[in-house]
Structure 1
Amino acid sequence: MKNIFKLLVAGAILLSASTSYAQNESDRWSFAIGINAIDLYPVGEEDNGLGGYFDEFFNTSHYNVLPAPSRFEVGYYVGDGIVATGAFSVNSIDTVGDTSITEISYYSFDGGLRYNLAELWNGEIVSPYLGVGGSYQILDNDGFGTFNGTLGLDVKIVDGIYANVQSTYKHAFEDAFPKHFQHTVGVKFTWGAVDTDGDGIVDSKDECPTVAGLEQFNGCPDSDMDGIQDSKDDCPNVFGPAETNGCPDSDGDSVLDKDDKCPQTAGLVALMGCPDADNDGVADADDKCPNEAGPASRQGCPVKDRDNDGIEDAMDKCPDVAGIAELQGCPRPVVPTVEVQAQLNEYAKTILFDTNKDSIQKESEEVLADIIAILKKYPEAKFEVDGHTDSDGPKQFNQRLSEARALSVKNYLVANGVNEFRLSSKGFGETQPVASNKTRAGKAQNRRVEINLIK
């Protein structure tokens, strides 16, 4: 008997360390009703020649059966696979082993803990369990306590309803009272499931207990109904196929809509799904010339240079004639225009000299710089620097002065970058007046320098 007792206790301890159980948050409460059979055949009495614990276990002729609902049990899941139970049973005893006796009453008040074995193999239909506990029996008018070990089995009929059968060995604490078995057959009802999110899946089986979901995903949601639960769906709010983790690719360009800047138009991966009709690497939406290849620096427009002078047409003022950058794509003119010639001489006549000398005054340097700039624009053209005087003084002196002043201007121009082979100088004295020498104003106009194109 002691060995059996140790086995029951050891089994209960091992099960209490396990997380396997049938009754849990899904079915916190249970109520069982059934009939019970009391077997008072002496057990564990090998020394008295009466046999061991299970020698007469299946001999139903020893059973005292009350053929009416006679045992009632309430169970409550307390956590970690443990179910606390409380039971009441009643019976009428008229057989003790092979001996008939005058009928006496039997009452029992039981309490204990039960551990379900079904979770070890994830069983749902058949759920065996072991239990330990204690009870107080009243046999006729005598009461006594027992330590109990229980082996039982629940068989699922429908959700929440089970057929139940169990056997409990009750070991009396005092030798004066009988050690015995109580067998029970009945029906068990379970209820009390918690479904926080109201999706019809109890929290204990719901992997997303606070968010309403689908049974196929163990209670987790699939917001876009694409067959991929939200936690595994890269686009949980947009319908998409499984091969792209639930994200759509509306235009079929291999760039998912969530990353596609042009989700309704097939494009290139390199351009985040946007098209590039001219394949110039600039997306059409940013390409000012979407049908002509051009660099990104030109916003996708080609560099057009009809005259091949290295200056694109958009910047070339003479797009059909090769020119130079200095003149914005226009060719350098060979000779100055009439207007340029006139401007050149307007500058030239303002060159100032010291009185009766050929030395150029310093304040003329600015206008001379303007003259040099014009001359450099016509590197192929040749010019003559002409000197003129008024009629005051001897003619010979005026002739020499005009020649000296023309040469002085030429030398200045050469010294400041104008090719000397393009320049010549000549003096005309007082022979070519442009105004009357009878007035001061006229004389001032006649004292001048001209720079004329040699044709």
Structure 2
Amino acid sequence: MKKLLLICTCLAFTYITNAQTQDKKWNIGLHGGATQSNTDYVNDFYKGHMPFYAFGGLSVSRYLGGHFDLSLLATKGKVGYSTIYGRTSQDFTTTSLNARFHLLGPNTPVRPYLFVGGGVMIFDKNLDIKKSTVDYITPSYGVGVNFKMGPTVMLNIQETFLNSSEDKRDGVVKGGNDSYLMHMVGLTFNFGKKKDADKDGVADRNDKCPNTPAGVAVDKTGCPLDKDADGVADYLDKCPDVAGVAALMGCPDKDGDGITDAEDRCPDVAGSLAMKGCPDTDKDGVADIDDHCPDTKAGYKVDAAGCPMDNDKDGIVNEDDRCPDAAGPASLKGCPDTDGDGVADIDDRCPAIKGTIANKGCPEMTVEEVKKITEIASKIFFENNSDKLKVASLVQLDELTTLLKKYENANLLIGGYTDSKGTDAYNLTLSQKRTESVKAYLMSKGIMESRLSATGYGETLPIADNKTALGRAKNRRVELKTSY
């Protein structure tokens, strides 16, 4: 008996080191107490003058649910009787399997319970009263209570009633079968392997977050800690002490622009990532906080201060400046006017000589020079019925060349006319050829073709009567007009 108790004690204390009451399904208990008998003689339970004998026991229980478990109880000791001849006792061993119903849940410190079951009682073999040593317990039942003393240790008190299948252990067969009462007290220990898949110290059955990564601190429910209660676990939260948004890994974003306050130059005003969280009202690439010209027109290039570029520093921004790299007045849209004639150099055909706007910056011909051109036109002659210039005409055209070179901006219109002799088609062709001859000669003297325009009008537009020789002579003519 002593050896059995020692072995059970060692086993119990071995399991206690790794056990937790709520998570461990198995329980082992060490018990002791006293027995009483209720037989055919004057015996009764709970009477102080009735015989009490000691016993020891071992129990093993299996958790079935919040209020149920199954318990196997084995005891060894003595049981005694009072007879007309005095008291007698005998050694016995019991084994019973009981279903227990706990009135309170597993987390309560005090857990009363009821139980019922059955088993066997084995008595000494040397009894003369009854040769059979085995009686059946039909049934066993009773009440008990467990007091939680720690995570795995409980104090157990139990009253066990054993109803025997026989009525001869006291030597008398009379009335009902014999019954026994065991007053029992003991210590029980919970053990077993706790299921904790993610190794966070919270059993799977209580773990609301069963897939927590290894090494992450968790709360009582097994979920990762979230100090700022923003829904982002501390181990994933870049700002664990300040509530933020999940999209920014738990960091705050007051203006809701998708940039954390810590990285936002303008945390109270929504902006763009390119502007580091600041707005850019005029979309010029310079944040409003740095922009000295916040109302710049769309598309204008700006400097670091957000103001439109002005390369030539003339007060006119590049986009409005016709000459952004050369300073000029606003009246000429930023272009210079070297000769001061009111025509910008970019448009001035004579930028170094003061002229008129009508002549695109070049000076106008004098009245005398205009008359001279008209006079030259009247002295241009051709061979009869030919477009070949007469030699005397070449001197006049040389003088005309000098004037055209003097006024490089002037263009020359060359018009050719004939009298009415001949067909219209012939006269039109002849007049065109004669103007082309004049144009070709002037070009040979260095006058650009782009300045010369030659048109033959034939016998149209006469200036005299074609019926007279004098009139026909006047109609055979070349007219020269300048334009700009």
TM-score category, normalised to shorter length: 0.5 to 0.7
Aligned to 1:159: 151
**TM alignment of 1:40-189, pairs within 5 A:** 40-41=37-38, 58-59=46-47, 61-62=49-50, 64-66=52-54, 70-78=56-64, 82-95=68-81, 101-119=87-105, 122-123=107-108, 125-139=109-123, 141-172=133-164, 176-189=176-189
- Does the aligned pair in 2 maintain the 1:74–1:86 contact within 8 Å? yes
Give unpaired runs (5+ residues) of structure 1: 1-21, 51-55, 342-355, 358-380, 398-403, 409-426, 437-444
* RMSD (Å) for aligned C-alpha atoms: 5.6
Deviation at 1:208, TM superposition (A): 3.5
Deviations 1:316-367 (A, max 9, x none): 324643579xxx9x8896433569x9xxxxxxxxxxxxxx89xxxxxxxxxx
Deviation at 1:188, TM superposition (A): 0.6
Deviation at 1:135, TM superposition (A): 1.8
- Does the aligned pair in 2 maintain the 1:238–1:248 contact within 8 Å? yes
CA distance in 1: counterparts of 2:452 and 2:89, whole angstroms: 165
**Secondary structure at 1:314's aligned position in 2?**
helix
Aligned to 1:191: 191
CA distance in 2: counterparts of 1:87 and 1:157, whole angstroms: 21
- Does the aligned pair in 2 maintain the 1:276–1:290 contact within 8 Å? no
The number of aligned residues is 331
Aligned to 2:461: none
**TM alignment of 1:438-453, pairs within 5 A:** 448=454, 452-453=482-483
**Secondary structure at 2:322's aligned position in 1?**
coil
Give unpaired runs (5+ residues) of structure 2: 1-18, 125-132, 168-175, 334-343, 349-356, 366-384, 387-408, 422-427, 445-450, 456-479
The match for 1:314 among 303, 308, 319 is 319
Deviation at 1:296, TM superposition (A): 6.2
Deviations 1:68-100 (A, max 9, x none): 6x1100122345654222121122122459995
Deviations 1:128-183 (A, max 9, x none): 33333222223553412322333222212222221111122334456753234322
Deviations 1:355-391 (A, max 9, x none): x89xxxxxxxxxxxxxxxxxxxxxxx999845368xx
Q: 1:282 to 1:108 in 2, by over 3 A?
A: farther
Provide the identity percentage.
19
**Secondary structure at 1:199's aligned position in 2?**
coil
Compute the TM-score of the two structures, normalised by the length of structure 2. Answer: 0.51
Compute the TM-score of the two structures, normalised by the length of structure 1. Answer: 0.54
**Secondary structure at 2:224's aligned position in 1?**
coil
Q: 1:434 to 1:201 in 2, by over 3 A?
A: closer
Aligned to 1:370: none
- Does the aligned pair in 1 maintain the 2:414–2:452 contact within 8 Å? no
Deviation at 1:275, TM superposition (A): 4.9
- Does the aligned pair in 2 maintain the 1:160–1:191 contact within 8 Å? yes
Aligned to 2:208: 207
CA distance in 1: counterparts of 2:330 and 2:69, whole angstroms: 101
- Does the aligned pair in 2 maintain the 1:146–1:170 contact within 8 Å? yes
CA distance in 2: counterparts of 1:297 and 1:98, whole angstroms: 124
CA distance in 1: counterparts of 2:262 and 2:60, whole angstroms: 62
Structure having the larger proportion of residues in helix: 1
Q: Give the aligned residue type for 1:114.
A: R
CA distance in 1: counterparts of 2:29 and 2:76, whole angstroms: 14
Q: 1:228 to 1:323 in 2, by over 3 A?
A: same
CA distance in 1: counterparts of 2:201 and 2:300, whole angstroms: 62
